[in-house]
Amino acid sequence: MIDNRRISAAGNLWVAALFCASLLASWFGVFSIAFLLGGVAIVWCVRLALHSPPSTDATAPNSAPEQVVTERSPALQTALVAAPPDAKKEDQIVAELSAAIETGQGLRVLYQPILDANTRKIRCAEALLRWQSDLLGSVEPDIFIPVAEAHGLIGPLTQLVIGHVSADLGAAPHPFKVNVNISPLQITEPGFPEMTAQAFQTRGIDPSRIEIEITEGAMLADPASIPVALGMIRKAGFTIALDDYGSGFSSLGYLRRFDFDTLKLDKSLVIDAVRSPQARAMLEATLTMARSLNMNTVAEGVETPTQADVLTAMGVDMLQGYFGGMAVEIQELSDFLSTPDQPIVRRKHA
C-alpha cells in the first residue's frame, strides 16, 4: 500500500523530525522515504509490511504483557498528520481565533451520529467543532485545537462549545446524549469538573446527558492527577469516554486502573480489524477486557458495511464514522431522530 502525502515545508526542524520519524518507523516495518522538492517536502511512505512480526524478545518494550502496541509508532503518526502551522500562520490563527471566540462568528458545532451496532439506529452523537475564518478559510480542528491549547484559548473555546451544545440539546425535540471532547490540559485543572457541570446546569442541561471524551494523551500528560480528576468528573455527574484508544501505545492497564464508561477504539484499529487476523485478535482481547469492566465500546472511523459487520460480529457496541454519517447540523440530526424508525444516516456532508 502506498500512502502519498504532500506536507508543506515548515522549516528544517519539521523535516528533521520527519526523518527521525522515518527512522523510528523502520523499526515498525514501515519504510519511509522523505525528500525535498522546490520547498515542498514530499513524503512517500511505502508500507512494506502491514504488520510487524510479534517480538520474540521478552525484554523488548512492546512485550509487556498488558501493553497493546499498535503497529504505527507515535513518532510516525505525529509526522504524518497535517504539518503544524509556521510561526506567521500560527500568529494569524491565534488572532483570528481570538476574534472568533469573542464574536462567536464562524465557529459552529456539528454532531456526528453514533449508531447502536446491532440496530444501526442513532444512540448518541459526538459534538465536533468547525471553524470557518474569513481570512483563513476553513481550518481543521487538528490544526486550530493545538494552537488554542498552546495560546491559552482552549478554555474559552470549550466554554463556547458548551454554550452551543446546551442550546442545541435544550431546543432538540428528542432527548439524546452528546459526547464532548475536552482537552487533556483542562482535565486536571482544579475546579474544572464543577465549573463545567455548572455551565451545563445553568443552561438547563443535566450533566448525565453529557459524556466527556478524553484522549490517551491525557493519561500520559499528568498520570498522577488523572485518577482524582476522573473521580471529580464522575462526581459532577458526567460519564467518561477514553478516546482514540489504539492510536498510540495503548495500555490495557489504563482500562483497569481508571474508571471509564466508554472505550472509543481508534480508526486505525478499525481498518486493521478487517485486514489482519493478528489485529483482530488484539482487538478481541481489548473487547473482552472492556466487557469485563462493564465498559461500552465504540468503533471510530467506520466507513464501510464490511467494517461495520466485522466489528458488530466481534461484539462492539456502537459504530461511529462515515458509514453512519458525517457530522451534521443539529437540525438534521433531530430530523433523523424524529423519524419513527430512525434510518441509518448515510449522507455525507463536507
Residues near Ca ion (CB under 5 A) are 181, 213, 243-244, 300
43 vs 178 by CB, closer to ligand C2E: 178
> Which listed residue (141, 152, 223, 343) binds ligand C2E by CB under 6 A?
141
Is the CB of residue 266 less than 8 Å from the CB of residue 282?
no
Asked if 168 touches ligand C2E (CB under 6 A), the answer is no
> Which listed residue (3, 134, 140, 309) binds ligand C2E by CB under 6 A?
140
CA distance 112 to 350: 12
14 vs 322 by CB, closer to ligand C2E: 322
CA distance 186 to 202: 20
Alpha-helical regions (H) of the chain: 12-27, 74-80, 87-103, 141-150, 154-171, 184-187, 192-201, 216-221, 226-235, 252-257, 267-275, 277-292, 305-314, 330-338
71 vs 213 by CB, closer to ligand C2E: 213
SS3 116: strand
Q: In which residue are the cell numbers 504532500 written? A: 6
| Contact string (CB under 6 A) for ligand C2E, positions 13-52, x = contact | ----------------------------------------
Which grid coordinates belong to 7?
506536507
Kindly determine how many residues on this chain lie close enough to bind ligand C2E according to the rule CB under 6 A: 21
Give the footprint of ligand C2E on residues 74-133 (CB under 6 A): 112, 127-129
Asked if 188 touches ligand C2E (CB under 6 A), the answer is no
Which of 229, 152, 236 minimizes the C-alpha distance to 194?
236
- Which of Ca ion, ligand C2E, none has residue 9 at its interface (CB below 5 to 8 Å by kind)? none
Is the CB of residue 116 less than 8 Å from the CB of residue 317?
yes
Asked if 267 touches ligand C2E (CB under 6 A), the answer is yes
> Which listed residue (41, 117, 310, 327) binds ligand C2E by CB under 6 A?
327
Give the footprint of ligand C2E on residues 285-324 (CB under 6 A): 301-303, 321-322
